[in-house]
Amino acid sequence: MKIIDLSLPIDEKAFEVHKVCIERVSHKAGVEKFNRVIMGKTLAGKLKYALGKRIVKKEDLPDEEFLSLETVHAPVHIGTHLDYSFHYGTHSEGRSSKTAEEIPLEYCYQDGVKLDLSHKKPNEVIKAEDIKLALEKINYQLKPLDIILLRTGADKLYGGPRYFSDYPGVDISAIDYLLDKGIKIFGVDTMGIDRPYRFMLKEFLETKDPKKLYPAHFYGRKREFIHIERLANLENLPGYGFKVVCFPIRIKNTGAAWARVVAII
């Protein structure tokens, strides 16, 4: 058995559109934070702490080290994650949209299929015909619940501005094709399933046509689907013959959730 990591990290040093901050308390500083938190629960404790009293000292600890602590401040759309219908709008298929914690877990451990769309350019979209041709190249017929991974190669741009500007989008026709085949989850190695902002916004400002803005995402209001964004390392996968594991972190009432996505060969 071989496990291939298909996930990108949450990294405060990488270029991101949204702010990411990871507060890091070191082992050495941990004891001071412990005292401040515990003693800060009462007014008397706060006063004693301010006067220099400590209930635990570094000398009391092995190697004078406490426990490290990291606090992550980041949107759920940073790092590899799954989007569900609540992200797309308040309703999907005429019903209240579902949040990421409601993603059926049985959808998240299924046979995987990798389709190579690395020839698609940033201003282009992946259409149903592209999906069909990619399937023909690997001689594979889709079956219900397969998890489809669309490789563009854009994950190699992660960490810099081009990651947000140079990748193809997914056309509604491709989404329809996959859903009609019984697919519940498809994933991309790009930061989103729509084309980059620079193309959508330019066309919207020129035409004032709202259909130019996030057509793939907004289509989730008409048909329910789950998609994975920010995948990586898809070039290491065969066309099929592997399992995908993409269980979302259980966070209350969010449209997306982080996931450590892996392939098992």
Summarised one tens digit per residue, pLDDT across range 166-198 is 999 999 999 999 999 999 999 999 999 999 999
Is residue 214 in some structural domain?
A: yes
CA distance 212 to 194: 10
Write the pLDDT tens digit of every residue in 34-62: 999 999 999 999 999 999 999 999 999 99
Is residue 98 in some structural domain?
A: yes
Q: Please check whether residues 257 and 176 belong to one and the same domain.
A: yes
Where do the DSSP E strands lie in 44-162?
69-73, 81-83, 91-92, 95-96, 109-116, 125-126, 147-151
Write the pLDDT tens digit of every residue in 71-126: 999 999 999 999 999 999 999 999 999 999 999 999 999 999 999 999 999 999 99
Q: Please check whether residues 96 and 166 belong to one and the same domain.
A: yes
Q: Torsion angle, CA of 120/160/76/9, rounded to 10 degrees?
A: 100
The pLDDT of residue 138: 98
Give the residue-averaged pLDDT of 209-217: 94
Give the residue-averaged pLDDT of 67-74: 94
The pLDDT of residue 144: 98
pLDDT band at 153 (very low <50, low <70, confident <90, very high): very high
| Structural domains counted in the chain | 2
Per DSSP bridges, beta strands 169-170 and 125-126 are parallel
Instruction: Assign residue 209 the CATH number of its domain.
Output: 3.50.30.50
Q: Please check whether residues 63 and 109 belong to one and the same domain.
A: no
Q: Please check whether residues 40 and 163 belong to one and the same domain.
A: no
Residues of the chain with pLDDT > 90: what percent?
A: 98
The pLDDT of residue 59: 92
The pLDDT of residue 163: 97
The pLDDT of residue 147: 98
Q: Please check whether residues 111 and 210 belong to one and the same domain.
A: yes
| Domain coverage including residue 138 | 3-9+76-264
